[in-house]
């Protein structure tokens, strides 16, 4: 896999998300940016098996962004896969548009609704269980937040997936260490997440969530886990790519002013506020 | 209506009748999946033994059970979830709302021991709000059978036409009320079980049996009471129900629910939306009720929803 190509895709996705969100000034840039490399690795890193233009292909891998406030990061990718018209990106959150601030299951390529935290691993377990039962080869990838791991339902589902040997299920924890009010380590420490997933019966590994080499190495473990589901704890930076947002909880859903906009555009390599 | 039976055979537990019905369908349809959050039944033992691939123990993890069901349903499975009433409703209400209702998935929630069914278990096991909270969900159908045959027919309909449903089962066996073939009644959504003149008592589940007792008591007082078993509480057959109720001068609704937003509210809303105004008294549990030891009928007496209270409500609403 050409890493430079993936780096280019990551920049492209940040640009696309920026344009989409800033046109309407609605959305969650920092939460989306912490998982950009995860999303790019899945969709463009030769990991997920998908068919261009066929969001309902029965053998497709299922990808769920369970941290629904960041699920809009998938929209430019899904449009790029020709699952829907690219012009929908311009109608994001607009009446009559397909794309909402949170991902709805009616959007081609969105496997299940998100927005409320703690559902993705359970939903993904359902997909994975059905695949096993039907002797189908598709895999299910769930991207969730570290803050989302506060939800008890995550651990109910983690226990279930391990018991049923759902090695066709991958949970990628976007560990950006922030929730709305501040740092998870200071507010309510999530502790050793790798150890927690491991103790629930998963194969767990921690990586740099902005390194394609590390992400792809970890994702290559699918199928080698002796029947265990795979948890990848991806250490990330919330707001990655925009200097004044990086690691700053107050930017969760704040919108930049004119000066900040200029800085951000410069860092993203965009010339104007909205490039179409 | 020719639905009543003179059947003295021992009624089965509703849960066994329902699970046997699902089992028979599941033998023919590999896509039927039955998930329990650690609630058992004799019929479930057979299901687990004979169809292990179609049974899932979710753990005592109702939230996971619902999320899991959503993934299965999105994968084409027909999913039946099964647990004690309080835990399959309020305990995982957010999951039911966020994933099942939001995506309108064909998942059937089967609750056992609705209302005060787990009498001695008291407050944590009561569901005195499940009608209000479940009927508030977008697109759900809420069904509350009153005997074995109606439970079986409702289950068959749920199998034949998978949809987002909540089925409320009584914990204890209930006396037979209906003949085997209840299919057309399922369509109708209610049964005008007894025709009367002066007042009509509307209930569902266990309360239908109480309505029949109240009707007998009223008869002794020369009051002719009708009884309606309104087993489909959401997606109420508004025109049909209103048509029947319109022929009565007064209405009493009975329930084992906190009155706010409950069964009686559902009936009132229906009449109101149909532009029908009738003197109506809701018999149910008032706010601030306390928990004591006692069986279901003793609790009914304490909470003012036993037969004498139903009779009293009927007489008062008639102005007698």
Q: What is the CATH number of the domain that holds A133?
A: 3.40.50.970
Q: Do A121 and B75 touch (CB under 8 A)?
A: no
Task: Provide the Cα torsion B141, B146, B149, B155; round to 10°.
Answer: 20
Query: Does some domain include residue A275?
Result: no
- Show the domain range for A49: 3-268
Distance from the Cα of residue B136 to its chain's centroid: 15
In this complex, the residue of A116, A130, A156 whose CB is nearest that of residue B59 is A156
> Is the residue at A274 inside a domain?
no
- A119: closest CA among A64, A167, A82, A39? A64
Q: What is the pLDDT of residue A276?
A: 44
Which chain A positions have a beta carbon within 8 Å of B103's beta carbon?
105, 112-113
Q: Which CATH class is domain B14-169?
A: alpha beta
Cα of B239 to nearest chain A Cα, Å: 33
Q: List Cβ neighbours of A174 (8 Å cut-off, separation of 6 or more).
A: A31, A34, A35, A38, A67, A70, A143, A144, A145, A146, A209, A234, A236
Tokens of A84: 């829907």
| Same fold? B14-169, B189-318 | yes
Q: Is residue A44 assigned to a domain?
A: yes
Contact (Cβ atoms closer than 8 angstroms) between residue B107 and residue B100: yes
Tell me which residues of chain A have a pLDDT lower than 50. Answer: 275-276
Q: Decide: helix, strand or coil at residue A146.
A: coil
Three-state secondary-structure class, residue B203 = strand
Kindly report, residue by residue over A13-27, the tens digit of the pLDDT: 999 999 999 999 999
Report the gap between the CA of A271 and the closest CA in chain B (Å): 40
**Model confidence pLDDT, tens digit, residues B252-284:** 999 999 999 999 999 999 999 999 999 999 999
Please check whether residue A155 lies inside any domain of the structure: yes
User: How many CA atoms does the CB half-sphere of A37 hold within 13 Å?
Assistant: 27
Contact B271, B202 (CB under 8 A): no
Taking the alpha carbons at both ends of chain B, their separation in whole angstroms is 29
Contacts B58 to A, Cβ<8 Å: 160
- Which residue of chain A comes nearest to B73, CA vs CA? A126
Other CB atoms within a 10 A radius of the CB of residue B294 amount to: 15
Binary contact (B70, A159; C-beta < 8 A) = no
pLDDT band of residue B249 (cuts 50, 70, 90) is very high
Residues of B in contact with A123 (CB under 8 A): 67-68, 70-71, 74, 99
Domain-embedded: residue A238? yes
| pLDDT of B3 strictly over 60 | no
A126 → closest Cβ in B59, B63, B72: B72
Q: Where are the domains of chain B?
A: 14-169, 189-318
Percent of chain B at pLDDT exceeding 90: 93
Residues of A whose CB is below 8 A from B75? 126-127, 130-131, 134
Q: What is the CATH number of domain B189-318?
A: 3.40.50.920
Counted domains in chain A: 1
Residue in A113, A121, A129 closest to B99 by CB? A113
pLDDT tens digits along A239-264: 999 999 999 999 998 999 999 999 99
CB pairs under 8 A between A and B: 92
SS3 B107: strand
Q: Assess A133–B contact: CB distance below 8 Å, yes or no.
A: yes
The pTM of the full predicted model, rounded to 2 decimals, is 0.95
User: Looking at this predicted complex, what is its ipTM?
Assistant: 0.94
Q: Does the residue A276 lie in any domain?
A: no
């Amino acid at each position: 896999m050409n890493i430079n190509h993936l780096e280019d895709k990551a920049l492209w996705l940040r640009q696309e998300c920026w344009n989409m969100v800033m046109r309407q000034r609605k959305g969650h840039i920092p939460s989306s940016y912490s998982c950009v490399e995860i999303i790019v690795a899945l969709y463009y890193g030769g990991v997920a098996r998908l068919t261009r233009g066929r969001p309902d292909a029965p053998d497709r891998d299922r990808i769920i962004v369970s941290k629904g406030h960041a699920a809009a990061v998938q929209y430019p990718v899904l449009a790029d896969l020709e699952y829907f018209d690219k012009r929908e990106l311009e109608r994001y959150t607009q009446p009559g548009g397909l794309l909402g601030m949170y991902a709805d299951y009616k959007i081609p390529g969105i496997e299940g609704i998100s927005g409320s935290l703690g559902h993705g691993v359970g939903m993904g377990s359902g997909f994975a269980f059905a695949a096993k039962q039907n002797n189908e080869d598709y895999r299910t990838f769930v991207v969730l937040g570290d803050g989302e791991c506060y939800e008890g339902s995550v651990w109910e589902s983690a226990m279930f997936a391990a018991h049923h040997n759902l090695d066709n299920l991958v949970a990628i924890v976007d560990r950006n260490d922030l929730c709305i009010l501040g740092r998870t380590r200071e507010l309510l420490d999530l502790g050793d997440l790798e150890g927690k997933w491991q103790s629930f019966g998963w194969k767990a590994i921690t990586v740099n969530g902005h390194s394609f080499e590390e992400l792809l190495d970890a994702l290559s473990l699918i199928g080698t886990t002796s029947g265990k589901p795979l948890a990848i704890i991806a250490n990330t930076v919330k707001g990655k790519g925009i200097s004044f947002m990086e690691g700053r909880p107050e930017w969760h859903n704040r919108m930049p002013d004119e000066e900040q906009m200029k800085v951000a555009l410069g860092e993203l390599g965009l010339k104007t506020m909205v490039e179409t | 209506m020719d639905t009543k039976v003179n059947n003295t055979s021992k009624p089965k537990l509703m849960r066994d009748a329902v699970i046997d019905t699902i089992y028979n369908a599941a033998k023919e349809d590999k896509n039927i999946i039955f998930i329990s959050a650690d609630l058992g039944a004799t019929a479930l033992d057979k299901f687990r033994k004979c169809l292990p691939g179609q049974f899932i123990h979710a753990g005592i993890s109702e939230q996971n059970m619902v999320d899991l069901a959503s993934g299965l349903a999105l994968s084409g499975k027909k999913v039946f979830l099964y647990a004690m009433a309080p835990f399959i409703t309020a305990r995982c209400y957010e999951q039911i709302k966020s994933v099942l209702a939001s995506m309108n998935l064909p998942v059937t929630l089967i609750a056992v021991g609705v209302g005060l069914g787990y009498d001695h278990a008291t407050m944590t096991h009561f569901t005195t709000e499940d009608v209000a909270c479940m009927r508030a969900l977008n697109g759900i159908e809420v069904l509350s059978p009153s005997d074995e045959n109606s439970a079986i027919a409702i289950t068959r309909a749920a199998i034949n036409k998978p949809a987002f449903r909540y089925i409320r089962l009584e914990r204890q066996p209930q006396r037979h009320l209906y003949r085997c073939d209840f299919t057309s009644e399922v369509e109708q959504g209610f049964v005008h079980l007894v025709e009367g003149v002066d007042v009509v008592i509307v209930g569902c589940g266990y309360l239908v049996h109480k309505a029949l007792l109240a009707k007998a008591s009223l008869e002794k007082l020369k009051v002719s009471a009708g009884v309606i078993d309104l087993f489909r509480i959401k997606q109420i057959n508004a025109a049909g129900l209103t048509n029947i109720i319109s022929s009565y001068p007064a209405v009493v609704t009975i329930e084992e629910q906190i009155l706010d937003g409950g069964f009686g509210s559902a009936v009132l809303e229906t009449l109101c939306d149909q532009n029908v105004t009738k003197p109506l008294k809701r018999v149910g549990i008032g706010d601030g009720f306390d928990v004591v030891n006692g069986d279901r009928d003793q609790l009914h007496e304490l909470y003012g929803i036993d037969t004498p209270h139903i009779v009293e409500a009927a007489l008062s609403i008639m102005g007698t």
